[in-house]
Amino acid sequence: MGRRETILACGGAGFIGSHACVVLLLKGYDVIVLDNFANARRDVLKHISKICGRKPHLIQGDIRNRACMHDVFANYRIDAVMHFAGLKSVSESVSLPWLYYDINVHGTLNLLTAMREAEVFRLIYSSSCTVYGNAEHMPLTEDCARGFTSPYGHTKLVVEDILHEFAKADTRWAISCLRYFNPLGAHKSGTIGERQLGTPSNLMPLIVQVAAGERDFLRVYGNDYPTADGTAVRDYIHVMDLVEGHLAALVYIQENEGWHAVNLGRGKGTSVLQLIGTFETAVNRSVPWEFAPRRFGDIPVCWADPTLASRLYGWAAHRSLEQMCLDAWHWQCSYLP
């Protein structure tokens, strides 16, 4: 039997990373998780191994630690990297920009240095639709102008550019920047999902907490956006669809060098109130909500044209909004801290 390929998942204990570990292990890859547990719990590894029947190898470490990143590549034979590690709150990035540049940009540069020294050139990077800034025309295609509305968005844009320059300078790099739209839901087992340590800033963790009675009501930020019901519109995608897109990208960069960016979305816009309504119907619970002023950095509308992912990777999201709600709720109900 041939050697299994080994994937280093930086930030692999987090929401998206943990689901990626599941699809990688089930597909026969070996996985090394490197995480500093700033926003993850250790027991996620146990849950991953319960789902898959085998465990990722764990390294507790920080991508900003040069010696640590060097040692990882010196001690393990790594074939490719999936880089999920970072901070992701738009509002927090406005008050703590230095931390966002330090972790998201400096940390990524450290990782790239260690990869280059070890001659590991295959990378999948967690980018975001935030790199389109406040775009006017929907749906968004990969060649739309980019911009940013927050320090968080700027870190994503800067890292995309750094990666592009690396790939231009050395043709051995094969880099896929996956521009995530809005991942929701959880693995169907209900044992891994999205749980922000501290106060969540993403919508679904707040919705499920309100439905479970952990919070009294949900704040809906902004009721005067130029949308049908006045609330912001996003392109929600099931996290399992999203991580299956990573598997397809991994296969693609095995054969194709260079840099490219691809949208991972469903191509459907849903307003905040529509999402709340779908959730209430799907799980048969009410979610009390109140309007609050718009948040700095939030944009009115954003949805993807996912055609390129289908053309390059043969991938398309197929899980419904209702499924995302059911799986997020199942995770909330079965999660035992």
Half-sphere exposure of 87 (CA within 13 A, CB side): 27
Q: Which residues ranging from 301 to 330 are in contact with ligand NAD (CB under 6 A)?
A: none
| Among the listed residues 161, 185, 153, 231, the one whose alpha carbon sits nearest the alpha carbon of residue 324 | 185
Looking up tokens 């009294």 gives 216
Q: Does 85 bind ligand NAD (CB under 6 A)?
A: yes
Should residue 38 be labelled a site residue for ligand NAD when binding is judged by CB under 6 A? yes
* Least distance from ligand NAD to the Cβ atom of residue 102, Å: 8
CB nearer to ligand NAD: give 58 or 257: 58
Q: Tell me, residue by residue from 57 to 76, as one string, x for binding to ligand NAD by CB under 6 A and - for no binding.
A: -----xxx------------
Distance CA 55, CA 60 (A): 15
Binding mask 234-253 for ligand NAD (x = CB under 6 A): --------------------
Residue number with CB closer to ligand NAD (36 or 227): 36
> Pick the catalytic residue: 29, 100, 152, 221?
152
**Of 19, 18, 21, 29, the residue nearest 79 (C-alpha):** 29
Taking the complex as a whole, the smallest distance from the CB of residue 284 to ligand NAD amounts, in Å, to: 26
- Minimal distance, residue 40 CB to ligand NAD, in Å: 3
Q: How many residues does the chain have?
A: 337
User: Is there binding between residue 15 and ligand NAD (CB under 6 A)?
Assistant: yes
Contact window for ligand NAD (CB under 6 A) among 32-40, 185-193, 260-268, 312-320: 32-40
Using CB under 6 A as the binding rule, whether residue 263 contacts ligand NAD is answered as no
* Rg, C-alpha atoms of the chain: 19
Longest dimension (CA), the chain: 60
Out of 107, 139, 151, 267, the residue judged to bind ligand NAD by CB under 6 A: 107
DSSP 3: P
- Helix (H, G, I), strand (E, B), or coil: what is residue 168? helix
Q: Please measure the distance between the N-terminal and C-terminal CA atoms of the chain and give it in whole angstroms.
A: 39
Q: How far is the CB of 24 from ligand NAD (least distance, A)?
A: 15
- Catalytic residue check, 132: no
Tokens in use for 29?
A: 């890859």
36 touches ligand NAD by CB under 6 A: yes
105 lies in the binding site for ligand NAD (CB under 6 A)? no
Torsion of CA 214, 217, 223, 228, to 10 degrees: 80
Closest CA to 50 of 79, 14, 72, 25: 25
Alpha helix stretches (DSSP H) within 138-212:
151-169, 203-211
Least Å from the CB of residue 15 to ligand NAD: 4
Which parts of this chain interact with ligand NAD (CB under 6 A)? Answer: 11, 13-17, 35-40, 62-64, 84-86, 88, 103, 107, 126, 128, 180, 182-183, 202
Please identify every residue annotated as catalytic: 152
